[in-house]
């Protein structure tokens, strides 16, 4: 490995390296013991070694470590990625905004990544296809991205407050292949700045929630021209624009309108237009009535996720939910009773997760029926209120920790769900069912006959001991 530390060798002097490199498997060979910076230097040794560093498994260990405690900063990013590789033509995806990313950055790392470093990143990755930007990105970085990375397909600018409409217009003009655009909470971006993205007709995913400058006309324009499959918007988009956008998107698979002004009329348009909808998020939509909520189940028979937090949901709204439902969020639905949850347990045999926090009308009977009837249920979220017994609350916590971790979040993604008929998904379900059954044997729920018998036996022994103490004139407090 000392050869890699000294720098580049001529191909004539390193004639033996290709044979050596063939014997080096990055995941198990000597290269696996190098630290992050040394691995970046290996690429500079020869063409053969550079080819070895292209392997995805070569960086796997550092992806996990960086997702945990290590944060990336300017010096490490430049030294490891660009010191020996002026142009990273092999880099296709770069995530600098999520807690666990390709080259590792935490939330604190976003603040340490300066605009100058980001501009270097955007300028030296010509083959970049997916980019998740940190909060510190500015107009110069966006313009460099537009000039250099014209094959970009997925761009996430979530909470990037320094971006102005001018740079977004340049990006829309030059990057014509973008299919996923996320400008959530970008306060300076306006309708006019994202309008050109719709002219290309390639957008399939659009996220504009909490972007105050986007009020609706651009969303209508994009939905009319593009074949949108996922649309996320909130109260910043006017209700009339929502209605037009939904009516123009018959291929919509996912609609998320949390804390928006969506009305019953919009739901009626959604029902008549988007029959293949798989994910629907109506969190805190106060203008919806139970009249439209009752139509959701019978109308969308392929629905996989339904989030109705703080909505006016009662038991009748849950009578005819689709059997394909996998995620159901009913937090703060105070009108629900055990009758509605029994309907869920009877209809939704494929349910994986249910949220029942702050549902004061429920009791232990709801949890018992859900666990007993749904073989793939792995996550049950309940609150700590008095309507659930302490035994059930503790057991649900253990159940989520012992069983819920087996669920992958990718199984809840609507794009992945469309392929869940593959054998891989069926095998995963069967493995989960076996592990879940083993957990229930190891930690039976409070309503299990064995647990109840043990509790009765414990109570009987306690009463016998108290009776013996009383017969001998001994008070329990004497011990």
| Angle 278-280-283 from CA coordinates, rounded to 5° | 160
Using left for φ > 0, alpha for ψ between -120 and 50, and beta otherwise, residue 45 falls in alpha
439-446: long-range pairs with CB below 8 Å, 24+: 439/399, 439/402, 439/403, 440/371, 443/395, 443/398, 443/399, 443/402, 445/367, 445/368, 445/371, 445/392, 445/395, 445/399, 446/364, 446/389, 446/391, 446/392, 446/395
CB 157 within 8 A of CB 186: yes
| Cα→Cα distances 144→84, 167, 439, Å | 21, 10, 53
Residues 6+ apart with CB under 8 A from 91: 125, 127, 128
Average the pLDDT over 293-297 and give the result.
92
Residue 200 has pLDDT above 80, yes or no: yes
Residues 6+ apart with CB under 8 A from 462: none
Cβ atoms of 252 and 246 within 8 Å: the answer is yes
CA-only gyration radius of the chain, Å: 28
The per-residue pLDDT for range 333-353, each reduced to its tens digit, is 989 999 999 999 999 999 999
The residue with greater pLDDT, 413 or 447, is: 447
Residues 246 and 255: their CA atoms lie apart, in Å, by 9
Give pLDDT, residue 256.
Answer: 95
Which of the two residues, 418 and 62, has the higher pLDDT score?
62
The two beta strands, 130-132 and 93-95, are: parallel
Distance CA 4, CA 1 (A): 5
Give dist(CA 332, CA 308) in Å, integer: 9
pLDDT at 54: 60
Identify which has the larger pLDDT, 388 or 476: 388
pLDDT surpassing 70 at residue 14: no
Total Cβ atoms within 10 A of residue 452? 12
Tokens of 99: 């807690």
Instruction: Flag whether pLDDT at 236 surpasses 80.
Output: yes
pLDDT at 384 over 80: no
pLDDT at 96 over 50: yes
Q: Give the residue with greater pLDDT, 123 vs 276.
A: 276
Task: Note whether 238 and 260 are within 8 A (CB).
Answer: no
Q: Is residue 329 predicted with pLDDT exceeding 50?
A: yes
Per-residue three-class SS string for 212-257: CCCCCHHHHHHHHHCCCCEEECCCCCCHHHHHHHHHCCCCCCEEEC
Residues in the chain: 479
User: For all residues of the chain together, what is the average pLDDT?
Assistant: 78
Specify the higher pLDDT residue, 378 or 412. 378
Q: At residue 273, does pLDDT exceed 90?
A: yes
153 CB contacts (<8 Å, ≥6 apart)?
129, 130, 177, 178, 179, 180
Mean pLDDT of 358-376: 90
Pick the range with the lowest mean pLDDT from 11-25, 295-309, 395-409, 416-430.
11-25
pLDDT at residue 10 greater than cutoff 50 = no
């Amino acid at each position: 490995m000392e050869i890699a530390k000294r720098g580049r060798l001529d191909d004539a002097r390193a004639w033996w390296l290709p044979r050596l490199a063939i014997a080096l498997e990055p995941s198990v060979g000597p290269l696996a013991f190098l630290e992050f910076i040394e691995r970046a230097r290996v690429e500079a040794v020869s063409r053969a070694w550079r080819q070895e560093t292209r392997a995805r498994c070569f960086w796997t260990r550092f992806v996990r470590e960086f997702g945990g405690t290590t944060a990336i900063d300017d010096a490490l990013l430049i030294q490891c990625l660009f010191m020996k590789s002026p142009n990273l033509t092999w880099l296709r995806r770069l995530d600098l905004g999520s807690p666990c990313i390709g080259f590792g950055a935490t939330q604190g790392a976003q603040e340490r990544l300066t605009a100058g470093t980001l501009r270097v990143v955007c300028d030296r990755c010509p083959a970049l296809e997916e980019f998740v930007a940190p909060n510190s990105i500015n107009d110069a970085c966006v313009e460099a991205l537009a000039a250099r990375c014209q094959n970009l397909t997925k761009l996430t600018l979530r909470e990037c407050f320094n971006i102005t409409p001018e740079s977004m217009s340049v990006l829309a003009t030059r990057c014509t292949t973008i299919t996923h655009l996320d400008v959530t909470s970008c306060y300076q971006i306006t309708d006019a700045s994202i309008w050109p993205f719709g002219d290309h007709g390639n957008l399939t995913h659009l996220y504009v929630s909490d972007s105050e400058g986007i009020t609706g006309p651009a969303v209508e324009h994009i939905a009319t021209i593009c074949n949108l499959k996922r649309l996320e918007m909130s109260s910043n988009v006017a209700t009339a624009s929502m209605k037009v956008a939904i009516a123009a998107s018959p291929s919509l698979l996912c609609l998320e309108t949390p804390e928006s002004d969506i009305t019953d009329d919009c739901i009626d348009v959604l029902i008549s237009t988007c029959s293949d909808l798989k994910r629907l998020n109506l969190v805190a939509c106060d203008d919806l009535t139970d009249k439209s909520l009752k139509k959701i189940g019978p109308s969308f028979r392929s629905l996989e996720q339904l989030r109705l937090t703080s909505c006016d949901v009662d038991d009748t709204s849950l009578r005819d939910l689709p059997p394909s439902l996998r995620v159901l969020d009913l937090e703060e639905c105070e009108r629900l009773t055990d009758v509605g949850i029994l309907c869920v347990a009877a209809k939704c045999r494929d349910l994986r997760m249910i949220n029942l926090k702050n549902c004061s009308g429920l009791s232990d009977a709801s949890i018992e029926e859900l666990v007993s009837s749904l073989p793939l249920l792995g996550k049950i979220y309940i609150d700590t209120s008095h309507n659930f017994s302490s035994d059930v609350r503790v057991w649900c916590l253990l159940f989520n920790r012992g069983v819920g971790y087996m669920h992958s979040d990718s199984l809840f993604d609507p794009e992945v769900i469309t392929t869940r008929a593959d054998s891989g998904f069926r095998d995963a379900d069967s493995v989960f069912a076996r592990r879940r059954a083993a957990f229930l044997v190891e930690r039976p729920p409070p309503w299990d006959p064995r647990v109840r018998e043990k509790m009765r036996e414990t109570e009987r022994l306690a009463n016998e001991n108290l009776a013996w103490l009383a017969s001998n004139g001994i008070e329990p407090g004497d011990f």
